[in-house]
Amino acid sequence: MIKMAVFRAWFGSGLDQDYDDSINGWTVLLFAVCSVGSFALRYITTPISCWCPAQFEGSMISYTQESCFQKDMYNSQPVFDNYEDETKPPSVPSFHLWIPLILFLQTLAFKVPNIIWNSSKHLLTVNMDETFESLKSVQLTDPENRQAIFSDAARVFGSLLRRNRFVLALLYLFVKILSCVNLLAQFMFLTIYFRQYLAIRVGSYAGLDMDSIIKPLLVKDIYCDFQIVGISTHIFTVPCTLPITKIYEKMFIFLWYWVFLLAVITILNLVLWAGFLFLPFLRDGRIAAHINAAKGSRPDETAVTRFISSFLGIDGVLLLSMISRNSSELVAANLTQHLYQVFQEKEEEFQIQRDLYGEEPGSDAIETGKKQEL
């Protein structure tokens, strides 16, 4: 159970997240698997193949290929002794040894928004995972206990929502923005280094000098220099190919398509969430539908608007939406109805106190104080 909890904490999503957060959580697992797999490829495949002189024996061939594979700088052409420094062909770098680390850093970049959300949300509201889990299982209890649980939960939510009006929603949208920034940055990285023809085409349209930006991250055909020390030192230059580069390229092309699709989904998801939370004509209808489903009668639109603006707040709309996504619409409707009852009780109390103190001096100050409490 502990292992499953740790696995879900790192690679899954909580009960207070939507489908887009779930996809981003599984993307962490995808990149982690690619990171481990790219490291294992060195040992389960032949990462490099070099053409060696005929006099080389088995151990010498193994040494040649291993020493060449460990190099991070290669020659794109054979280097002869008659080359001068000015005419000597430049060395080309290859980052095939760093691919597991690069993928690991990409994995961490996908995890950062989730870490920020999980470490900050508890400072602003209740433990949403435990609360949502309790509300999710409340449907299995008998009707009497169910209504009591919903009533208690509504009063707890009501007291907490009076302190946090929109901070939690802003945090959630900020995390969404971080995910979008991460996806766009990773998409640019994968395009520049693994879809270079596309980057060159787009850069030329934008008037950019892509030759100074785009550098090959991996090489396929190289010349490797190494020396063998004996009675005299012999320097050999052998041509080599790196078959592992083709595997890496195919893996990164797949990740390029994955990140592209995920970026489109995440940006659309951010726009929809921002619209739902801050545009009244989108959020009010959903809350009214929940109250209507639970009460069996259509509530007053003015009362619903006042219920959202003065009682629920943006944070309450976010919490109810998360409950409906991760539990059920019935649970969200029942909780909304009980929250609406708490709101009506508060309004009735306010009305009674206003009638009681309405004729006395200083009633305006009392009324202002009551409005602030609501």
pLDDT, block means (10 residues), the chain with 374 residues: 47 68 90 94 88 81 85 72 55 85 94 87 66 66 73 77 76 93 92 70 59 71 77 76 90 92 95 89 80 63 80 84 79 83 80 68 46 44
| CB neighbours of residue 151 within 10 Å | 15
Is 197 in a helix, a strand, or coil? helix
The reported pTM is: 0.78
Residue pair 161/313 in contact (Cβ under 8 Å)? The answer is yes
Residue pair 203/213 in contact (Cβ under 8 Å)? The answer is yes
Q: Give every CB contact of residue 64 below 8 A, 6+ residues apart in sequence.
A: 50, 52, 56, 224, 226, 236, 238
DSSP 374: -
Determine the pLDDT at residue 150: 77
Burial of 43 (C-beta count, 10 Å sphere; 0-12/13-18/19+): exposed
Q: Tokens representing 30?
A: 């995808």
Q: Tokens representing 194?
A: 């693994």
**From CA 192, how far away is CA 173, in angstroms rounded?**
29
- The residues that bridge with 74 in the sheet, in sequence order, are 92
Indicate if the alpha-carbon torsion angle 316, 318, 319, 321 is positive or negative: positive
For residue 7, the one-letter residue type is F
Instruction: Output the CA–CA distances (angstroms, integers) from residue 296 to 50, 282, 299, 333, 334, in the order listed.
Output: 78, 21, 9, 11, 12
Determine the pLDDT at residue 234: 72
| CB neighbours of residue 91 within 10 Å | 16
**From CA 240, how far away is CA 64, in angstroms rounded?**
10
Tell which residue, 173, 164, 183, 170, has the closest CA to residue 272.
173
